[in-house]
Amino acid sequence: MDPRRASRTVSDPKIRQVGFFAPSPDRSFSGPPDPISTSTSTPNPAAANTSSPPPISDLSPSGNSLSPVMIPPPRHSSDTTYRPVPFPPASPLRRDTLSLTVGSYNNNNIIISSSPTASFYDESKGITVKASSVPASGLTTVSVVKTLPPGFTETIVEKVGGSVEMQNDLPANSKPLKERTSKAERRALQEAQRAAKAAAKAEGSKLPATTSGAVASANAKPSKATKPPSQKNDSATVASSEKKGSDRPPEKDRKKDAPHPRMQYDDKSRVEKAKRRAVVKQTEARNRVELFRHLPQYEHGTQLPDLESKFFQLDPVHPVVYKVGLQYISGDIAGGNARCIAMLQAFQEAIKDYSTPDEKTLTRDLTAKINSYVSFLNECRPLSISMGNAIRFLKNRIAKLPLTLSESEAKAFLQSDIEQFINEKIILADKVIVKHAVTKIRDGDVLLTFGSSSAVEMILLHAHELGKQFRVVIVDSRPKLEGQLLLRRLVGKGLSCTYANINAVSYIMHEVTRVFLGASSVLSNGTVYSRVGTACVAMVAHEFRVPVLVCCEAYKFHERVQLDSICSNELGDPDAISKVPGREDINYLDGCTNSENLQLLNLIYDATPSDYVSMIVTDYGMVPPTSVPVIVREYCRDQVWI
């Protein structure tokens, strides 16, 4: 293809910068990048230790901190305590950051504007179920959680401060950490325990809480998939004699936990086992696509009335979790951030109402309960990768609770931990992403986005508020047609928008200058796992030499790798393909679901290869796709959840 770019804005040829440099915010955007930022590379290691935490510090307007495209070095060495020490210095910095951004980009504004939109939707009688309810696939916290107190921004500041105080207390009475026992030793212990448990199953006597408590304090950090560490050093018989019910969930869910919801559904025995302990009764789809036999395919629409009737009877599942599960099934909550936040807030409620049964430890019993909730949610709708990461974080926190805490204190800690996770990893991360990405938008740009991503929407709105002149092209695809929701919100805010179907992307790409995409996750080989159709858009953009920027919070990164979209995906309702909403003349496929030769395939996700992505904008800065495993390794491991 001929390069179609005639003229570009040329930076001053005398100053040659190598690498990416974002211009500092107080300069005009056509000027050359700040030459001071070239010197940031050398003093970084020194700067990182004094100014903390680095990912937030580069927001300060002066150029003497990290440029946003450099990954700050991790702070491993002295930070082996599970509560990272530099929190106290962080909070004033964070408060400044919050006050900086609050002025220009206020959550309150978003709250106010989304509710009239929602009511407007009801009035105009949106056609799809999703449209008539909350425009859920849009902004994360705001559109979903209507119960947010109006003083939301104040709450963030208080909570950050409050949680900081609590964490200062904790290191004083933290348990001494032991070196990790080798895998072989743990495995041997587990085998012995399992054998003894099978032998002692009839007893059903309880494990004395005190011994397990004392033992738990001496253990190393647990990995996410193994049993709680308190059992490791117990004698075999004592450890094995647990009550059956609470013991089975952690054991059976271990299989599901290991790479989160990726059970292979072509293994008959496993499918049978899963069905037996399932809360949600799913009927399998009759007409399954052969290529996707390893993924679950269920009839949609059958679970919802059944579950609704059981709402008041369902004992093992907390009602708030149940409600969230129903919202997943019906599609009211969609989008990675929204689902994750809804799940975490439901867990907060569940933890608040939780009380430890007699002779049980809080950590193990609560972990078992959380596991059961997770498997329920997984049955409602397969977990997204962001949710998987959040669950791993929560279980990690539960397991690390010091056992000298009383139950109410432990619950308060967990609730504040969840709150902090949501605030830092999602809300604050989005603000940082917006701040970085807005520097990439210039006057006269034509920006293309696909579907509806909460991060991209925030970027566009913020850029519009800053007064930049640009046009937006929204590319949409079947069957979800999420782009229409985004279109309505953007047009309501005054942006000039063009709407097109994904087929027209080759036509429209001639005029596009930048492409902004959202992601459900970014995998360790740089592959972007996102809504189906993203790969097509990125490919065409690459062909026309248009830069593609993927905006993704760092908590969504995962160490998994994937080469294509087949080995792991989610299958949606096949009937959504045969029905075209609003076009009654398109009814060729009515009644064809029973034909044995005809199958309908409704993929939800696809994998975009990393060579189509120019840059990933995260809360750790703007990085190339090759830096994703670095971030996963240094920042998303269990002990360093910064």
Partner 1 sequence: MIEFQRSLEWFWFLRLRRVALTGTSNEAGEVILTFGRSRTVKEFLCAAKEKNRSFGLFVAEGAPKYQGHLLAKELAARGLQTTVITDSAVFAMISRVNMVIVGVHAVMANGGVIGPVGLNMVALAARKHAVPFVVVTGTHKLCPLYPNNPEVSLNEMRSPSEVLLFEEFSDCMDYRIGTGAPQLHVVNPAFDYVPPELVSLFITDIGGYYPSYMYRLIADYYSSDDVVIQQKPAS
Task: List residues near partner 1 by CB under 8 A.
Answer: 1, 124, 126-127, 131, 289, 291, 477-479, 484, 487-488, 491, 494-508, 510, 531-533, 535-536, 539-540, 543, 564-566, 569, 577-578, 580-583, 586, 588-589, 592, 595, 597-603, 606-607
Could you give the residue ranges of the DSSP H alpha helices within 494-574?
505-508, 534-543
Q: Which residue has the tokens 């179609």?
A: 4
Smallest distance from partner 1 to CB 38, Å: 37
Smallest distance from partner 1 to CB 564, Å: 5
Per-residue H/E/C for 301-345? CCHHHHHHHCCCCCCCCCHHHHHHHHHHHHCCCCCHHHHHHHHHH
Neighbours of 540 (CB within 10 A): 22
Closest CA to 623 of 460, 457, 454, 436: 436
Is the Cβ of residue 149 or residue 591 nearer to partner 1 in the bound state? Answer: 591
Is the Cβ of residue 463 or residue 554 nearer to partner 1 in the bound state? Answer: 463
Burial of 312 from C-beta contacts in 10 A (0-12 / 13-18 / 19+): exposed
Smallest distance from partner 1 to CB 488, Å: 7
Query: Residues for the chain: how many in total?
Result: 642
Residue 364: half-sphere exposure toward Cβ, Cα within 13 Å: 27
Could you give the residue ranges of the DSSP H alpha helices within 331-428?
336-352, 362-380, 385-399, 407-421
Is the Cβ of residue 317 or residue 541 nearer to partner 1 in the bound state? Answer: 541
Is the Cβ of residue 16 or residue 583 nearer to partner 1 in the bound state? Answer: 583
CB 114 within 8 A of CB 135: yes
Closest CA to 383 of 535, 223, 637, 604: 604
Closest CA to 332 of 45, 192, 533, 128: 128
Rg (CA), the chain: 25
Smallest distance from partner 1 to CB 510, Å: 6
User: Residue 498: phi, psi to the nearest 5?
Assistant: -120, 140
Is the Cβ of residue 100 or residue 577 nearer to partner 1 in the bound state? Answer: 577
Is the Cβ of residue 126 or residue 629 nearer to partner 1 in the bound state? Answer: 126
Distance, CA of 392 to chain centre = 12
Is the Cβ of residue 390 or residue 495 nearer to partner 1 in the bound state? Answer: 495
Is the Cβ of residue 157 or residue 508 nearer to partner 1 in the bound state? Answer: 508
Q: Is the peptide bond before 150 cis (omega within 30 degrees of 0)?
A: no
User: Residue 528: phi, psi to the nearest 5?
Assistant: -100, 120
Smallest distance from partner 1 to CB 468, Å: 14
CB 146 within 8 A of CB 134: yes
Smallest distance from partner 1 to CB 565, Å: 4
Beta strands in 71-146 (DSSP E): none
Is the Cβ of residue 329 or residue 487 nearer to partner 1 in the bound state? Answer: 487
Is the Cβ of residue 225 or residue 577 nearer to partner 1 in the bound state? Answer: 577
**Greatest Cα pair distance in the chain:** 82
Smallest distance from partner 1 to CB 465, Å: 16
Q: Is the peptide bond before 479 cis (omega within 30 degrees of 0)?
A: yes
Is the Cβ of residue 148 or residue 566 nearer to partner 1 in the bound state? Answer: 566
Smallest distance from partner 1 to CB 345, Å: 31
Burial of 584 from C-beta contacts in 10 A (0-12 / 13-18 / 19+): exposed
Residue type, 9: T
User: Residue 197: phi, psi to the nearest 5?
Assistant: -65, -45
Is the Cβ of residue 432 or residue 475 nearer to partner 1 in the bound state? Answer: 475
Smallest distance from partner 1 to CB 410, Å: 45
- Give the Cα separation of 161 and 612 in Å (integer): 41
- Please report the sign of the dihedral spanned by the C-alpha atoms of residue 617, residue 518, residue 335, residue 599: negative
Closest CA to 219 of 173, 176, 172, 174: 176
Distance, CA of 270 to chain centre = 27
Is the Cβ of residue 481 or residue 622 nearer to partner 1 in the bound state? Answer: 481
Smallest distance from partner 1 to CB 547, Å: 17
Q: Which residue has the tokens 């150029």?
A: 63
Is the Cβ of residue 365 or residue 606 nearer to partner 1 in the bound state? Answer: 606
Smallest distance from partner 1 to CB 548, Å: 14
- Give the Cα separation of 624 and 157 in Å (integer): 32
DSSP 181: P
Smallest distance from partner 1 to CB 108, Å: 24
Is the Cβ of residue 210 or residue 469 nearer to partner 1 in the bound state? Answer: 469
Is the Cβ of residue 21 or residue 450 nearer to partner 1 in the bound state? Answer: 450
DSSP 91: H
Smallest distance from partner 1 to CB 592, Å: 6
Smallest distance from partner 1 to CB 531, Å: 8
Smallest distance from partner 1 to CB 473, Å: 8
Residue type, 100: L
Smallest distance from partner 1 to CB 81, Å: 44
- Give the Cα separation of 101 and 190 in Å (integer): 50
- Give the Cα separation of 189 and 626 in Å (integer): 39
User: 3-class SS at 550?
Assistant: strand
